[in-house]
A and B are shown apart, each in its own frame.
Chain A
Amino acid sequence: MNAVLETFLTDEIGPLPFCPGCGHDRLIKALDQALVKLQPDPKKVVIVTDIGCIGLADRYFTTHAFHGLHGRSITYACGLKLARPELTVIVLKGDGGCGIGGAHLLNVARRNIGITLIVANNFNYGMTGGQHSVTTPTDGLTATTPQGNIEGAMDLCATTIAAGAPWAYRGTGFDRDLADRIADAIRQPGFAMLDIWDMCTAYYLPRNQLKKKDLSGMMERLGLPAGLLADKQRPEYGEQYRKIHAQAKQAVRRRPGISAKYGHALNQQTGIVIAGSAGQKIRSAAALFAQAGMFANLEATQKDDYPITVMTGHSITEIILSPERIDYTAIDSPGYFVVVSEDGLQKSKALIKALASGATLYAEESLDLPETDARVVRLPIVATAKKINRLSIGIVALGAMLADSGLFPMDAFKESISTLQKKVIAEVNLQALDAGARILQSECD
Chain B
Amino acid sequence: MALEFLEGNEAIARGAMKANCNFFAGYPITPSSSILQHMLDLLPRDGGIAVQAEDEIASIGFCIGAAMAGSKVLTATSGPGISLYSENIGLAIIGETPMVIVNVQRQGPATGSATKGAEGDIQFTRWCTSGGLPVIVLSPATVGEAYELTFHAFNLSERYRVPVFLLTNKEIGLTRESVDLDAIELPSPVERKRVAMGEEYLPHDFDYPSAVPAFADFGGEHITRFTTSTHDKAAFLATSPPLIQEMIDHYTAKVDAAADELALVKQHLEDGAETLIVSYGITSRSAAVAAREARAIGVKVSTLCLQTLYPVPRTALISAMNGISKIIVPEMNMGQYILEVERLAPAGIEIIGVNKMDTTLISPDEILEQGGLR
Seen from chain A, the residues whose Cβ lies within 8 Å of a Cβ on chain B are: 13, 42-44, 46, 48, 51, 58-59, 62-69, 72, 74-84, 86-87, 103-104, 106-107, 238, 241, 245, 248-252, 255, 257-260, 287, 290-291, 294, 298-305, 308, 326-330, 332
One of B41-49, B157-165, B334-342, B344-352 contacting the partner? B41-49
Instruction: State the Cβ distance, A100 to closest chain B Cβ, in Å.
Output: 10
- B258 in the interface (beta carbon within 8 A): no
Known: A64-B219, A78-B65, A84-B219. A294 touches B88 (CB 8 A): no
- B108 in the interface (beta carbon within 8 A): no
- Further pairs besides A69-B61, A329-B177: 17, Cβ < 8 Å: A43-B223, A68-B226, A69-B87, A78-B62, A79-B62, A79-B63, A80-B218, A83-B23, A84-B69, A104-B58, A107-B54, A287-B176, A290-B176, A290-B178, A302-B176, A303-B171, A328-B286
> When the two chains form their complex, are residues B62 and A301 in contact, meaning their CB atoms are under 8 A apart?
no
Q: Which residues of B contact A59 (CB under 8 A)?
A: 225, 227, 235-237
One of B188-196, B317-325, B357-365 contacting the partner? B357-365
Known: A104-B58, A301-B176. A241 touches B68 (CB 8 A): no
- B51 in the interface (beta carbon within 8 A): yes
Q: Mark B71-88, 1 if CB is under 8 A from A, else 0.
A: 100000000000000011
How distant is the Cα of A209 from the Cα of B220 in the complex, in angstroms?
47
State the majority secondary structure of interface residues on A: mixed
Known: A68-B61, A83-B65. A241 touches B49 (CB 8 A): yes
> When the two chains form their complex, are residues B66 and A75 in contact, meaning their CB atoms are under 8 A apart?
no
Instruction: State the Cβ distance, B232 to closest chain A Cβ, in Å.
Output: 11
> When the two chains form their complex, are residues B174 and A303 in contact, meaning their CB atoms are under 8 A apart?
yes
> When the two chains form their complex, are residues A290 and B5 in contact, meaning their CB atoms are under 8 A apart?
yes
Residue among A82, A245, A303 making CB contact with B66, cutoff 8 Å: A82
How many chain B residues touch A (CB < 8 A): the figure is 69
How distant is the Cα of A327 from the Cα of B91 in the complex, in angstroms?
38
Residue among A86, A301, A327 making CB contact with B219, cutoff 8 Å: A86
> When the two chains form their complex, are residues B178 and A299 in contact, meaning their CB atoms are under 8 A apart?
yes
Among B88, B219, B285, max chain A CB count under 10 A is at B219
How distant is the Cα of A51 from the Cα of B87 in the complex, in angstroms?
13
Known: A64-B223, A66-B226, A252-B45. A75 touches B62 (CB 8 A): yes
> When the two chains form their complex, are residues B69 and A83 in contact, meaning their CB atoms are under 8 A apart?
yes
> When the two chains form their complex, are residues A252 and B54 in contact, meaning their CB atoms are under 8 A apart?
no
Residue among B57, B67, B286 making CB contact with A75, cutoff 8 Å: B57
- B270 in the interface (beta carbon within 8 A): no
> When the two chains form their complex, are residues A294 and B3 in contact, meaning their CB atoms are under 8 A apart?
yes
- B229 in the interface (beta carbon within 8 A): yes
Q: Which residues of A contact B178 (CB under 8 A)?
A: 258, 290, 294, 298-301
> When the two chains form their complex, are residues B65 and A79 in contact, meaning their CB atoms are under 8 A apart?
yes
Q: Which residues of B contact A80 (CB under 8 A)?
A: 65-66, 68-69, 218-219
Q: Which residues of A contact B25 (CB under 8 A)?
A: 79
> When the two chains form their complex, are residues B2 and A83 in contact, meaning their CB atoms are under 8 A apart?
no
How distant is the Cα of A290 from the Cα of B288 in the complex, in angstroms?
23
